[in-house]
Amino acid sequence: MAAASSFSSILLLFLISLLSTAFLSSIHGFTDDPLIQQVVSSDGRGGDLLMRAEHQFTVFKKEYGKTYPTQEEDDYRFGVFISNLRLARRNQIMDPTAVHGVTQFSDLTPSEFRRRFLGSGRRDDQILQLSKDISKAPILPTDKLPRSRNWTARGAVTAVKNQGDCDGCWAFSSIAVLEGAHFLANRKLVNLSEQQLIDCSKDCSPQVPNLCDLGCKGGHRLLAYKYIKNAGGVAKAEDYRFTGTENGFCNVTDNSQMVASISNYEYIGPDEAQYAAYLVKRGPLTVNINIKTIQTYKKGVLCPRINCSSYVDNSTSASTDEIFNHAVVLVGYRNRTRYSDDHDHDNNHRRKKFWWMVKNSWGSKWGELGYFRVCGGLLTACEKNPIAIYVVAEKKLSSLARLSS
């Protein structure tokens, strides 16, 4: 009986292995992913991984409060979970300066993760070619930049927030940068309302077709700042609370609710040395990222080995699933040498020299307490003409009186 039971267990593991391998091939875009194609094959420890998978899935569901409506859905998500364990192993090989593994997104297929949390849309350069709503920032000197800057430690960054299932990263990153700018202008950190942008910023760009702020269905930082400037500012988060969805109406009655406003905003071209210079001078910056290994990221410095010629989809279609732009916030950097924009593409060398500290909007359980790090050069490596945006906040009268007293 013991021998029969042992044989049944081995057979079950073999069948699970076959099913998970087939599932990998069935995930939309997985086998065609140019990042995955660069990774070497399994190191032969797949059996051990499968033996631990069921326990890991149980722990995963408990840790992240995951429940599924039917046993069929639970079984399906277990198959996805196994596939993502393999994906994490591949990403670890491809991205050795970070730690990859089980995350809150481990029950989502790569396609589901992209659609729900990375969004899709036009690249920054395509928007800038057509948009007249923003000017380019002048070049700043970079030869005397400090070796590090951390606006979180300096009190300019609010606690990590969680956008949930709302595709509102554009609102969260835009607000975080304004919070930092308001702190620099008024020496007061105020938690501002993302929900106001989600409900009220509904403009479409007259120059760029299909470029609109659509609440929890996506938006763009440029339109967010245009709205804030035209509306006269943003309310406190406690006065206009985040609901995780669109309320269907704009709940702003008058300008007395506005506690932070914008005097100016500009974009910075694809130059990470300039990003560093403006971060030191103006505070946190908002950028879009294009890093496919981020689904399995746990900690460390993201610096994946990538082939830029195949990593970026150059299509002009706004509906393509491959042009994903997740808006995040640069809040600091660390540099072991003086920053030089030498376009060094050796990952280990880049990691040792420079990394960015980035605030995300996926909650404090994700990554490094809601933050992650990216090696220097990666932000501009594979996106054609990406931009960062800085904001200058208006000084409020109460702050002026306090500063002069």
The catalytic residue positions are 169, 326, 360
Tell me the C-alpha distance between 75 and 79, whole Å. 6
User: Residue 2 burial by CB count (10 A; 0-12/13-18/19+): exposed, middle or buried?
Assistant: exposed
Determine the distance from the C-alpha atom of residue 37 to the mean position of all C-alpha atoms in its chain, rounded to a whole number: 23
**Of 215, 211, 216, 218, residue with least CA distance to 134:** 211
* DSSP H helical ranges for 187-219: 194-200
User: Residue 48 burial by CB count (10 A; 0-12/13-18/19+): exposed, middle or buried?
Assistant: exposed
Q: What is the dihedral of CA 79, 85, 87, 344, to 10 degrees?
A: 160
Q: Within a 10 A sphere around the Cβ of 368, how many other Cβ atoms?
A: 16
Amino acid at 307: N
Amino acid at 388: A
**Of 52, 57, 42, 33, residue with least CA distance to 89:** 42
Amino acid at 260: A
Largest CA-CA distance found in the chain, in angstroms, rounded: 87
- Bridge partners, 289 (sequence order): 326
Beta strands in 297-385 (DSSP E): 297-302, 326-335, 354-359, 371-375
